Amino acid sequence: MVEVTIASEATADLHAAMQRLVPQLSSSNLPPSLDDLDRICRHEANSFFVASDATGVLGVLTLVVFPIPTGIRAWIEDVIVDDDARGKGVGRLLNETAIEHAFNRGAITVDLTSRPSREAANRLYQRIGFVPRETNVYRYSKPAQLDS
């Protein structure tokens, strides 16, 4: 049976799972250190959801809930389901649990982005009820000369 919990602190087991999971999502970002993972788990705006069963951690999701002048918003980031657990409802359970949590915290919307190449994830998000928006997503990256 899969259980979803919110991690309130980083543990050695959770850190080890992130070493395995993050490369399955991103080849350009390193997994968080134990201290960074602990900061993520303890940050007041974050809820770090962990799906697990008797075999260990199957997936994670970060929900960020924050107030802005037009209301309380929520954003889902870094949904990662282990390759071996995909297609078994883990992603759906993580998302539905996070959405309910966001609304319980007063959010009026929950947003996420997903690369078009993540076809299965995009199908899942639409089955859950996420609707593509007519918007532009912009990113501004820190200039290299500021890295010192």
21-65 pLDDT, tens digit each = 999 999 999 999 999 999 999 999 999 999 999 999 999 999 999
The count of other CB atoms within 10 Å of the CB of residue 17 is: 22
In this predicted structure, the answer to whether residue 120 has a pLDDT above a threshold of 80 is: yes
Q: Hunting for tokens 């980083």 — which residue is that?
A: 10
CATH code 3.40.630.30 for 3-147: yes
In this predicted structure, the answer to whether residue 146 has a pLDDT above a threshold of 80 is: no
Backbone angles phi, psi at 119, to 5 degrees: -60, -45
Backbone angles phi, psi at 80, to 5 degrees: -130, 120
**Cα(119)–Cα(121) distance, integer angstroms:** 5
- H-run or E-run covering 18: helix 12-25
Q: What is the pTM of this model?
A: 0.93
In this predicted structure, the answer to whether residue 148 has a pLDDT above a threshold of 60 is: no
Structure tokens at 81: 């389901």
Residue 128 contacts residue 95 (beta carbons within 8 Å):
yes
Average pLDDT over every residue of 122-126: 96
The number of angstroms, rounded, from the C-alpha of 125 to the middle of its chain's C-alpha atoms is 13
Q: How confident is the model at residue 11 (pLDDT cuts 50, 70, 90)?
A: very high
pLDDT > 70: percent of the chain: 98
Q: How confident is the model at residue 144 (pLDDT cuts 50, 70, 90)?
A: confident
Q: Which residues face 56 on adjacent strands?
A: 53
